[in-house]
Amino acid sequence: MPKEKRMSQISFKRSGNTIGGSLTGVDLSAPLKDAERAAIHQALLDSIVLCIPAQQLETRDFIAFGRQFGELEPHVLSQYHHPAHAEIIVLSNVVENGKPRGISDGGAYWHSDLSYMAVPALATALYALEVPETGGDTLFVDMYRAYETLPDATKARIDGLTAIHSYAWRHNRMIDKNKVRAKLTDAQFQCTPEVVHPVVRTHPETGRKALYVNPGFTMRIVGMEKDDSEALLAELFVHATNPEFQYRHHWSVGDVVIWDNRCSMHSASGGYTPEQHRTLYRLTVTGTVPY
């Protein structure tokens, strides 16, 4: 029997300057009403990163919430999938019976989820089950503002450029860095070939332009010499990660945070000890081909 919907007034509040917001008065453990669904969608477009706090969800509730936005994309690292629901990848530093509960170093670098796929992510949602007392924040960047505040000469220079994105390139760098991750299997490598996306993409719903390169998965600019490509990307990354464009989310148990990957980057900040447990469930919603 469907759970009875608790009625309360929906309220949206900005959490940051141009990026970040919270929406209260919504219970995600019961089917969403049309007005709630519309409010969440609009708040996401307005804030880019949206927190819906104080939720008490079963796994099926969280999956149902993610499906409100589109088809769910299982992560390539299938060894970290939820044991009963492949749509969910578990982010956790908890070790049980000598086996990691989930991936412990996920997203500890600036990136946009699934930019390494031919059809990247529309949105990502995280549900916090365990959070450390200190540390564990997630940082987000408004990539609309990152583009809009570029010098005119730089905008002209990058107009029409494309870049190569690669998951294997990032994964191998993570192996070299911390020796924790296992090498990709042949199947995982085959399903994540290098892809090409525009350096500046147009958001399909808002029509606004956003910078669409990231340090995590963007290897190089197509048609440029290696040194020139690295210099241009470094310039864009330094500009994009200006603190003025950032929002820092401090997690509480029960937070559901969803963000728009089409116009943002994010990074896990770390800063907590292994004794402080951090466990989140993650869903990724498939988007459309960037243009």
Annotated catalytic sites, by residue? 111, 113, 266, 282
* Structure tokens, 145: 């503002």
Cα–Cα distances (Å) from 95 to 111, 136, 203, 279, in that order, read 26, 17, 40, 11
**Residue for token pair 């994105």:** 165
Give kind and range of the element (H or E) at residue 219: strand 218-221
CA 62, CA 27: separation in Å to the nearest integer?
A: 11
Q: Quote the tokens at residue 90.
A: 């578990």
User: Environment class of residue 9 by beta-carbon count within 10 Å: exposed (0-12), middle (13-18) or buried (19+)?
Assistant: exposed
CB 142 within 8 A of CB 244: no
**Torsions phi, psi for 280 (to 5 deg):** -135, 145
Encode burial over 20-48: b for 16+ CB neighbours within 10 A, e otherwise.
Answer: bbbbeebbbbeebeeebeebbeebbeebb
3-class SS of residue 164: strand
DSSP symbol at 182: P
